[in-house]
Chains A and B, each alone.
Chain A
Amino acid sequence: MVKRKPNAARYKHPLPIHPIELPPLIPHNPISWIYWTYCYFTGINGLTDKVHVEFFNDKYVHIIVKDESQMIYLWEHGFFGTGQLSRSEPTWKTRTNNRLTADSDTHGKELEKVTQHRRLLRLEFKKQREKLEQELLELRRNGGTIEQEKELIEYQRKSLREYKSQQSSKEIIPQEETIRDIDLPLFTDDGKLRQLESLELLPVEAMFLTFALPVLDISAKELTRRLMGYPESYTDIHDFISQYVVYHHYRSHGWCVRSGVKFGCDYLLYQRGPPLEHAEFCVRILGSNDVKDYNWYSSLARVIAGANKTYVLCYVENLSSPENILRWWHKGNYRAIFSSYKVGEVTYKRWIPGKNRE
């Protein structure tokens, strides 16, 4: 088990390609100049060991990273991919390890655990509230006056508030669990836990990690061939291109872009990454000539507003002809393709007259 690093150190690099680290340059010390120049010319941005990806399934391709350290590397340096047995960070092995070895010292603060704990507390709170509601009903049945009722409600509110503040100060109690028979196949012959989890990349993530940054051990052309075969018409590749253009646009301005499927949109934008803060923007991709039914916009707006996020409609405009794009695609000239799309953004927000009078 690796000891837990503080988040600041753990997620120091926002991209899997690191800048060259140069020693301090001291003007009055010539040796430092020489050392600085040496570091500058020997330093390489690229990775010495590229991340190995495998493809899984032919028609609906999955892009998979299996090596454990590489999985963690991709997660820690820009939050790429999703652990197949976890919510996002591939934590299945550590979680299982913690569960089976019952080592209370190592029970970390995995996101899954925090959520689980929070849900448990919420459930208890709801039970408590239900109890109080029962009391109120009892009073009503016994013919209490409205003034009495008011008093009771006031009192109940206070006690619920107290209950909640008391609850939040409680610590997580690790659950005791022992190894069941069913757990035995999880171990190798020499008693170590097997890694069953792998990291799955979105097609756009994989494209970013090959085309924009040389991180994966395949070429962009190979990747698109596995994803889309030999496209015959522009419509086959249009969706992927606009998805990638938008992905690259936000990534390149420093956002951590993750799938927005849980909020009914295309992407979520995190300023740094999921463990560090909530996403503040939900992005939906549209073509610059697309028109949808009004309900399409409004239903999404309600969902996103309910999650306290900002709804961004990102329009992608094609500046080149479909024939050109297709030709470039077959040549593997992705740079020309992506730079011939222009993006424009609009935020969409429900406007309530009563709240906008002053």
Chain B
Amino acid sequence: MEQDEEQDIKFDTTPDSDVEDDELIQDWSQAAQLSIRSSTLPKRGEKDYEPDGTNVQELLLYRARKSMFDTLSNSARGSVVKNLVKAYYDPSEHKALILKPRGNFLHTLGKMDRTGTVWLEFYEFVYLAERGTITPFYKMNDIDWINQELPLTIEDLYMLFKSQEELDKFFVFGHLKRLGFIVLSTENCLDSFFEPRGENSSKRILSNTWNLLPQWRKTLHNAIFYSPWKFWLNKHTSNSQMYQSLNQLIPSYKAPRTQEELRKTRAGIAEKPSNFPISLNVWKPRTDFKKKNPGLPDYQVVIYNKNDPNQHFPTYYELRKIFKHLDYKFEFLSEIDETWDWNDHSYHDGKLRSKTIINSKAKVSGTKTTTDTKKLEKKKPKKKFKPKSPRVQQKIRLKNGFRSFLLAVMDDGMISFVKISETDFGSENVWYVPQSAAKKQNL
């Protein structure tokens, strides 16, 4: 479509998919090949740790620097006037509008209204302006703002941020976007893993009374086990019995791990978490993304500014609250089930996705649906499923945990991500069963 736009994107996504390092540094020697004077330049090599008295290090540095400057100074710059996309900041909405929208960015950004105008969220507006994809203007209400243009500088744009939170959100958004992720705000999100409200609520009271029963049994059991004459009252003939007696004492939080359990946790919640709102939905880079019907996100992001005296790292209660509000592609569900299809387990605008998708496809044309199903069939055998031993599966459960979110920690422009997952050691037993005992049981 738009050529310079295309090039822009390529720059971000090509270099680093298989780089092992933590930090991804742009390798300008690759980019230099695109510039006019294409020459072969040395790749990144061994790191030198100290000056060795020769000028080889200087030379290497010089070459690397030069390749960067060459690239920057020789690449085609500026934009074609015909392709210029103008966006106008509307102070009353705190959003920006594009009257003649075009460009690749529309796949993942902006929202079109009925008149064909695209509305950008403020952080999307600043992000696109910074990249040079759009040219920012101010929409003054009293004047003819289309003909009497008021251009904005990047500095102006930064002054229009309303709060620290908004600025932080913009930084995280831009950072992830530049790395190739697809990022949308959680506001006005129509997709959900959870069934729409108002269907099952009466079951809950019943289950509560049932839960009290084992509690009593536990107390009695503990009273016996932790008394001095326990081994007279209760004989233990295996290590498992012993451990089972021991692990009745300390209650622990159970992490919901099945679809039913997850849905149950959703029954009681109403309000949004106030201290730590889930602000961004993140999808891994993909080509078949549809803005109107994106499906469940791969990650959800909570932003925490470590230098703001009013903010703090979440406590356990706050973490639990965040977990409760998560609504994304709970990867632990699909990882254990080979036949799992997310379309059968997620809702778009209150309707099951698998149903709405088929409907919309049928509408488009009959021939297209057949090719689509063919594509799907082709995709499936790609995912090979290796059955893992129960031991390994247990390890994975413990290490990866269940529900999880990304905490974006802000430190004055630096962003660091932490993945926090709920895990559940209380439901896993790892004790060792000696070989001979295991054999005996088999006999």
Could you tell me which A residues sit within 8 Å of B by CB distance? 8, 12-15, 17, 19-22, 24, 40, 43-46, 137, 140-141, 146, 149-150, 153, 211-214, 245, 248-255, 271-272, 280-281, 286, 288-294, 297-298, 301, 310, 312, 315, 317, 319, 334-335, 338-339, 341-354, 356-358
Given contacts A255-B430, A349-B419, contact A335 B223 (CB under 8 A): yes
Using CB atoms, name the residue of chain B closest to A353.
Answer: B179
User: Are B398 and A281 closer than 8 Å at their CB atoms?
Assistant: yes
User: Are B252 and A252 closer than 8 Å at their CB atoms?
Assistant: no
Q: How many Å lie between the Cα of A46 and that of B232 in the bound state? A: 9
Q: How many Å lie between the Cα of A283 and that of B181 in the bound state? A: 33
**In the assembled complex, how far is the CB of residue B416 from the closest CB belonging to chain A, in whole angstroms?**
7
- Say if the beta carbon of B187 comes within 8 Å of chain A: no
User: Are A253 and B431 closer than 8 Å at their CB atoms?
Assistant: yes
Please name all residues of chain A whose beta carbon is closer than 8 Å to the beta carbon of B59 when the two chains form the complex: 146
User: Are A349 and B242 closer than 8 Å at their CB atoms?
Assistant: no
Q: How many Å lie between the Cα of A346 and that of B425 in the bound state? A: 10
Q: How many Å lie between the Cα of A248 and that of B222 in the bound state? A: 14
Q: A45-B236, A346-B422 are in contact. List 7 more A-B contacts (CB 8 A).
A: A14-B239, A17-B242, A212-B246, A252-B247, A253-B431, A292-B313, A354-B179
Please name all residues of chain B whose beta carbon is closer than 8 Å to the beta carbon of A356 when the two chains form the complex: 284, 299
**Residue from the list A22, A281, A317 in contact with B237, Cβ < 8 A:** A22
Given contacts A20-B235, A292-B313, contact A350 B246 (CB under 8 A): no
Which of A45, A281, A293, A350 has the most chain B CB within a 10 Å cutoff?
A45
Q: How many A-B residue pairs have CB under 8 A?
A: 208
**16 residue pairs bridging A and B, Cβ less than 8 Å apart:** A17-B236, A45-B235, A45-B236, A213-B246, A248-B246, A249-B426, A255-B430, A280-B395, A294-B313, A298-B418, A310-B398, A335-B249, A345-B423, A345-B424, A346-B420, A357-B181
Q: How many Å lie between the Cα of A73 and that of B428 in the bound state? A: 27
User: Are B246 and A334 closer than 8 Å at their CB atoms?
Assistant: no
Using CB atoms, name the residue of chain A closest to B19.
Answer: A354
Q: How many Å lie between the Cα of A153 and that of B48 in the bound state? A: 13
- Say if the beta carbon of B176 comes within 8 Å of chain A: yes
Please name all residues of chain B whose beta carbon is closer than 8 Å to the beta carbon of A141 when the two chains form the complex: 53-54
User: Are B306 and A294 closer than 8 Å at their CB atoms?
Assistant: yes
Given contacts A14-B432, A140-B52, A288-B315, contact A344 B236 (CB under 8 A): no
Q: How many Å lie between the Cα of A289 and that of B318 in the bound state? A: 9
Chain B 371-427 residues near chain A, CB threshold 8 A: 395, 398-401, 406, 409, 416-426
Q: How many Å lie between the Cα of A150 and that of B316 in the bound state? A: 53
**In the assembled complex, how far is the CB of residue B305 from the closest CB belonging to chain A, in whole angstroms?**
10
Using CB atoms, name the residue of chain B closest to A211.
Answer: B226
Chain B 39-54 residues near chain A, CB threshold 8 A: 42, 45-46, 52-54
Please name all residues of chain A whose beta carbon is closer than 8 Å to the beta carbon of B425 when the two chains form the complex: 249-250, 253, 255, 312, 345
User: Are A343 and B249 closer than 8 Å at their CB atoms?
Assistant: no
User: Are A254 and B429 closer than 8 Å at their CB atoms?
Assistant: yes
Could you tell me which B residues sit within 8 Å of A by CB distance? 16-17, 19, 22, 24, 42, 45-46, 52-54, 56, 59-60, 175-176, 179-181, 219, 222-223, 226, 228, 231, 235-239, 241-243, 246-247, 249-253, 284-285, 299, 304, 306, 312-313, 315-317, 319-320, 395, 398-401, 406, 409, 416-426, 428-432, 434-435, 440, 443
**In the assembled complex, how far is the CB of residue A5 from the closest CB belonging to chain B, in whole angstroms?**
14
**Residue from the list B181, B231, B426, B434 in contact with A46, Cβ < 8 A:** B231
Q: How many Å lie between the Cα of A358 and that of B19 in the bound state? A: 13
Q: How many Å lie between the Cα of A150 and that of B46 in the bound state? A: 10
User: Are B423 and A351 closer than 8 Å at their CB atoms?
Assistant: no
Given contacts A250-B425, A253-B243, A289-B316, contact A146 B42 (CB under 8 A): yes
Using CB atoms, name the residue of chain B closest to A41.
Answer: B235
Q: How many Å lie between the Cα of A12 and that of B219 in the bound state? A: 31
Using CB atoms, name the residue of chain B closest to A133.
Answer: B52
Using CB atoms, name the residue of chain B closest to A246.
Answer: B250
User: Are B435 and A253 closer than 8 Å at their CB atoms?
Assistant: no
User: Are B443 and A24 closer than 8 Å at their CB atoms?
Assistant: yes
**In the assembled complex, how far is the CB of residue A12 from the closest CB belonging to chain B, in whole angstroms?**
5
User: Are A24 and B313 closer than 8 Å at their CB atoms?
Assistant: no
Q: How many Å lie between the Cα of A15 and that of B231 in the bound state? A: 15
Q: How many Å lie between the Cα of A348 and that of B401 in the bound state? A: 10
Q: How many Å lie between the Cα of A149 and that of B312 in the bound state? A: 51
Please name all residues of chain A whose beta carbon is closer than 8 Å to the beta carbon of B16 when the two chains form the complex: 354
User: Are A249 and B306 closer than 8 Å at their CB atoms?
Assistant: no
Q: How many Å lie between the Cα of A345 and that of B423 in the bound state? A: 5
Please name all residues of chain A whose beta carbon is closer than 8 Å to the beta carbon of B399 when the two chains form the complex: 280, 310, 347
**Residue from the list B223, B238, B421, B435 in contact with A347, Cβ < 8 A:** B421
User: Are A249 and B250 closer than 8 Å at their CB atoms?
Assistant: yes
Please name all residues of chain B whose beta carbon is closer than 8 Å to the beta carbon of A288 when the two chains form the complex: 315-317
**In the assembled complex, how far is the CB of residue B314 from the closest CB belonging to chain A, in whole angstroms?**
8
Q: How many Å lie between the Cα of A32 and that of B381 in the bound state? A: 55
Please name all residues of chain B whose beta carbon is closer than 8 Å to the beta carbon of A292 when the two chains form the complex: 313
Q: How many Å lie between the Cα of A131 and that of B53 in the bound state? A: 17
Q: How many Å lie between the Cα of A221 and that of B73 in the bound state? A: 79
Please name all residues of chain B whose beta carbon is closer than 8 Å to the beta carbon of A21 when the two chains form the complex: 237
Please name all residues of chain A whose beta carbon is closer than 8 Å to the beta carbon of B320 when the two chains form the complex: 344
**In the assembled complex, how far is the CB of residue A254 from the closest CB belonging to chain B, in whole angstroms?**
3
**In the assembled complex, how far is the CB of residue A34 from the closest CB belonging to chain B, in whole angstroms?**
17
Using CB atoms, name the residue of chain A closest to B323.
Answer: A346
Given contacts A22-B237, A254-B430, contact A214 B228 (CB under 8 A): yes
Which 9 pairs of residues, A with B, have the shortest CB-CB distance?
A254-B431, A344-B253, A252-B247, A252-B246, A315-B316, A351-B417, A288-B316, A254-B430, A351-B419
**In the assembled complex, how far is the CB of residue B324 from the closest CB belonging to chain A, in whole angstroms?**
13
